[in-house]
Amino acid sequence: MHIELDLKARGLSILVFVLSFCYLAYLYRALPALFTIALSVFVWLLYYLIAATELPRKALAYSAFFITPFLTYSGQIAVLTGFGGEGASLPWVGVSFVTAALALHIYQKKLDFLTLWLNILQPARMDSGPVALGNTPLGRLRLRRLKVYVGWMALGIFFYTVLATGLAPFLVLRDSTESVDIFVFSIIFELYVYFNFSGLTFFVFGLLNLAGVRTTLNFNMPFAARNVIDYWQRWHISLSGVLKEIFFKPVKRRFGLVVAVMVVFLSSAAWHGMSLNFFIWGLFHAAGWLLTYAIVRLVSHRRCALVINFLLFPFFVVVGRLIFSEPSTAFLVQKLKQLFFNFSLSPQAWLFNLKVDGQSLLLLGIVVACVVLEVFAKRSRQRYQWFRQKWVTPLLLLLSIFLGSTGLGGVYGAR
C-alpha cells in the first residue's frame, strides 16, 4: 500500500524514467544499461541481506564504489580522459554514476526499492550524472518550480550546444608537442570539459527536479573560486559529496587530514580510471589541496595568503587538466617537459596555423565573456543568477537554436 501511494505521488518521475530509457535505447540502438541494471539489482539484494550489520554493509558500500575502477582495470570500460568516445561501453552505460550512488546510499543505510529505480537508476542521469544523493522526493509541481528549473534546462542546453561545441575546433591541439599548443590546449580543454559536463548536468538537474526527483546542482561557478579548495567545492559537487561521506570523514577521524585528502583524491582518480596517469593526477591535486590549506594556516598575513593561493589556483587547474586528458604516460611526460623545461614560441605551433571560421571565433569570444563574468561574480550573484533571469532564458534558447550543435558528445562518454 505504501509503495502504491509513493508510485502515485511519483508519477512524473516514472514518466521521465520511461521516456529517458526509451531515448537511450533509441540513441544506442540497444539496451544500453543492461549490465549496469543487473549489477545494481544484485547489489541491492545483497544490501537487504546484510543491511542490519554495519561492517558487512560498509564493506559492500566500498565494494560498490570500486566497481568502476575494476571495470577500467579489466578493460570493460575505458579510462575517462574527457573525450567521450574513449569511455563508451554500451552494456555499462551509467555504471560510474550508478555505483557511486549505490555506495553512498548503502553506506548511509538509505537504499530502498523506489530510491534504486526512480532516483539512482533514472536513465536521464546515466550519460552525465549528477550522482544521486538525496532520497526524499519533491512535492507537487508548481508554477514557480517550473519557471526555476526550465531556466536551468535552458542554461544547460546553451552551455552544451553553444559554448562547449564552440571550443571543439581547438581540441586538435591535443596531439601537438609544441609548448604553446600544450599550454593553450590545457586551458581550452578545461573550459570545454566544464561547459560540456556542466551543461549536460544542468539539463538533467532541471528535468529531474521538475519531475520531483531531488537532484544536486553539480557545478557552482568553479571559476569564481579563489583557491584550489574552493574550486573543488564547486566542481562535480555530487561526486564530491560521495567522496566526502564515505572516504574523507571516516579517514580523517582515524588518520588525520593529510591522509584523508590523499585517500579522497586517489579514490577519485580510481573512479575516473585505473591508470598511472590518473594516479599522478590524484597525487597532483591532493598536493595542491594540501599546499593551499598549509598556506592559509601558516601565512600570517591573510591578504598575502589569498594572493598566493589565487596565483596557485590556475596552475593546479590547468596542469591537472593536461594530466587528465592524456592516456599515454610517455606522451604526458613529453608534454610536461616541453611545457616546463623547453617552452618556446615556435612558428611551427599548430595554433598559429589553425584555420578557424568566423562563427567559432564568435563563440570563443562568448566563452571568454562568460568566464570573465564568472571570475568576477560577487558572492550575491553566484549560482549562475545572471544566466537565469526571466528575459535571459528565451535568449539562451534562441542562441542555442541558431548557434548550437551536438558537438562531440558528452565528455564522460557512456560509462
Angstrom distance (rounded) from CA 48 to CA 7: 21
240 and 364 inside one domain: yes
Q: Is 94 helix (H, G, I), strand (E, B) or coil?
A: coil
Q: Residue 24 in contact with residue 93, Cβ under 8 Å?
A: yes
Question: Are the beta carbons of 415 and 36 closer than 8 angstroms?
Answer: no
Asked if residue 159 and residue 202 are part of one domain, the reply reads: yes
In a domain, 143, yes or no: no
Final residue of a structural domain among 77, 111, 126: 126
Closest C-alpha to 25, from 414, 330, 342: 414
Q: Is residue 133 part of a domain?
A: no
* Residue (of 228, 209, 187, 230) closest to 351 by Cα position: 187
Instruction: Kindly state whether residues 265 and 382 are assigned to the same domain.
Output: yes
C-alpha cell at 207: 528535468
Q: Is residue 296 part of a domain?
A: yes
Domain membership of residue 144 (yes or no) is no
- For the beta carbon of residue 277, count every other beta carbon within 10 angstroms: 22
Q: 278 with 195, same domain?
A: yes
Cis peptide before 130 (omega within 30 of 0): yes
Which residues fall within 8 angstroms of residue 340, CB to CB, at 6 or more apart? none
Number of domains in the chain: 2
What secondary structure letter does DSSP report for 138?
A: P
Residues 50, 191, single domain; the answer is no
Nearest to 190 by CA among 355, 315, 274: 315
- Beta carbons within 10 angstroms of residue 221's beta carbon: 19
Q: Are residues 39 and 172 in the same domain?
A: no
Phi first, then psi, for residue 218 (nearest 5°) are -85, -20
Residues in the chain: 415
Domain end residue (candidates: 107, 126, 145)? 126
* 72, 76, 81, 84 alpha-carbon torsion, rounded to 10°: -150
Question: Quick one: 255 and 371 in the same domain?
Answer: yes
Q: Are 242 and 103 in contact (CB under 8 A)?
A: yes
Residue 383 lies in a domain: yes
Residues 196 and 330 in one domain: yes
Asked, for residue 164, whether it belongs to a domain, the answer is: yes
Are 196 and 306 found together in one domain? yes
Task: Tell whether 294 and 391 lie within a shared domain.
Answer: yes
Same domain, 322 and 175: yes
For 67, the domain range is 2-126
Ramachandran category for residue 343: left, alpha or beta (phi over 0 → left; psi -120 to 50 → alpha): beta
Residue 132 lies in a domain: no
Q: Please give the model's pTM, rounded to 2 decimal places.
A: 0.94
Residues 118 and 173 in one domain: no
Q: What is the pLDDT along the chain (415 residues), one digit of tens a residue?
A: 344 445 555 778 888 888 888 888 887 777 788 899 999 999 999 999 999 999 999 999 999 999 999 999 998 888 888 776 555 677 898 999 999 999 999 999 999 998 999 899 999 998 888 999 987 888 788 888 889 999 999 999 999 999 999 999 999 999 999 999 999 999 999 999 999 999 999 999 999 999 989 999 999 999 999 999 999 999 999 999 999 999 999 999 999 999 999 999 999 999 999 999 999 999 999 999 999 999 999 887 888 989 999 999 999 999 999 999 999 999 999 999 999 998 988 888 999 989 888 888 999 999 999 999 999 887 656 789 889 888 999 999 999 999 988 777 778 766 8
The answer to whether residue 141 is domain-embedded is no
